Amino acid sequence: MHPVKAASIYIHIPFCVRKCFYCDFASQAGRQSDFGRYCDAVKAEAHSVYERYGKREVPSVFIGGGTPTVLPADLLCSLLEEVFRLFPPDENAEIATEANPGTVTLEELRQLRAAGVNRISFGAQSFDEALLRTLGRIHTPSDITRAVETAREAGFENINLDLMYALPGQTQDTWRETLRKAVSLGIPHISCYSLILEEGTLLAEKAAKGEISVPDDDTCLAMQKTAARVLSQAGLERYEISNYAKPGMECGHNLRYWEGGDYLGLGCAAHSLMDGVRYRNDASIDGYLAGNTRLDAQELSTSDRLEEAAMLGTRMTRGIELAAFYDRFGMDFFKVYRTETLIANGLAVISDGFFRLTDKGLDVQDAAVLEMIRDL
């Protein structure tokens, strides 16, 4: 008998109260009249993938968006119930949802907790009121504090805040202040992302017209170092390029993704990697509702998989475990990748059975990966 294979599950909820000025994620404001129809479509997709792949162990579930908590909790819980009926999460599975600090109530968070959700990730972005307005966020700094307190009252201990740096007009001082306020909440996990001006967003337009400017690359790197220092002093260690956690509180869903585990994406814009085949669902709500799922199915070649393993594995500060690499690919790590120059230049090291990038290597991770995969 074959053992049951594992797959993490991602559920995309593409609705938001309002579109933030920097956002190019698959999400739309309004569309309340489509909430029910969308959840029905995701349930139908879950049935169809169940028929295709059958039972799976489910070590983690991540509900992202968009703003999942824009959905009435009854609707979101009924969607989870149906997905969990087909794909029951493992006993100790991490079941996480994203949430906007401006969209949570105690009653609704209690419902989500009762439905099995045990991790909540708030898109806080900044504790600076002016910067939140610049970003077009719907919440204030005090909403963030209230949301964390409400989540705790509802029974959540595993709480993350997403923060952003390299924002227009942001200084090292205002960034440090945001980090300090986040740390003072005593949460176990913080993610720090630098602002990317994505084409087609309002902020990118303003930057092109010279109406705003963002910190240069050196300042951006200095802000990342500030985050690492302030968070480390508070006991949150960097375990991935953008993620910091207290020991044992790393995001299990993301770790499995970086380690190359299978994942099943449900909903519009969701991507999947199942049994070595990658595919995506239509990125638009209407396209998804029209049934456009499992697009661009592509069987990954060995060199695709090796490239992905280098790209994702080196994001983690612990790096790539050499024995696990051999078990997965049946190949010697050092015969596959070019590592000598990286090691000689202090960008990578081998220690305790892992190959990992140093801090200096993580600063240039893209270039380090290109060097590693040069001969693939």
Chain positions contacting ligand SF4, by CB under 6 A: 16, 19-20, 23, 25, 27, 65-67, 100, 123
Tell the smallest beta-carbon distance from residue 289 to ligand SF4 (Å): 19
Residue 362 sits at the vertex; the CA angle it makes with 261 and 336, to the nearest 5 degrees, is 55
Closer to ligand SF4 at the Cβ: 100 or 178?
Answer: 100
CB nearer to ligand SF4: give 195 or 241. 195
Q: How far is the CB of 325 from ligand SF4 (least distance, A)?
A: 35
Give min distance, CB of 59 to ligand SF4, in A.
25
φ and ψ of 94, to 5 deg: -85, 125
User: Closer CB to ligand SF4, residue 27 or residue 191?
Assistant: 27
How far is 315 from 230, CA to CA, in rounded Å?
20
Distances (CA, A) of 129 to 174, 177, 223: 11, 12, 19
* Residue 96, number of CB atoms within 10 A of its CB: 23
54: number of Cβ within 10 Å: 11
**Closest distance to ligand SF4 from the beta carbon of 267 (Å):** 13
DSSP bridge pairs for 244: 190, 238
Show contacts of 88-93: CB within 8 Å, 24+ apart: 88/58, 89/58, 89/59, 89/60, 89/61, 89/116, 90/57, 90/58, 90/59, 93/58, 93/59, 93/60, 93/61
Residue number, 27 or 243, with CB nearest to ligand SF4? 27
Contact yes or no for 5/57 (Cβ under 8 A): yes
Cα distance between residue 39 and residue 289, in whole Å: 10
Give whichever of 15 and 87 is closer to ligand SF4, judged by the CB atom.
15
The residue among 23 and 166 lying less far from ligand SF4, judged by its C-beta, is: 23
Smallest gap from Cβ 141 to ligand SF4, in A, equals 16
Question: Least distance to ligand SF4 from the beta carbon of 146, Å?
Answer: 17
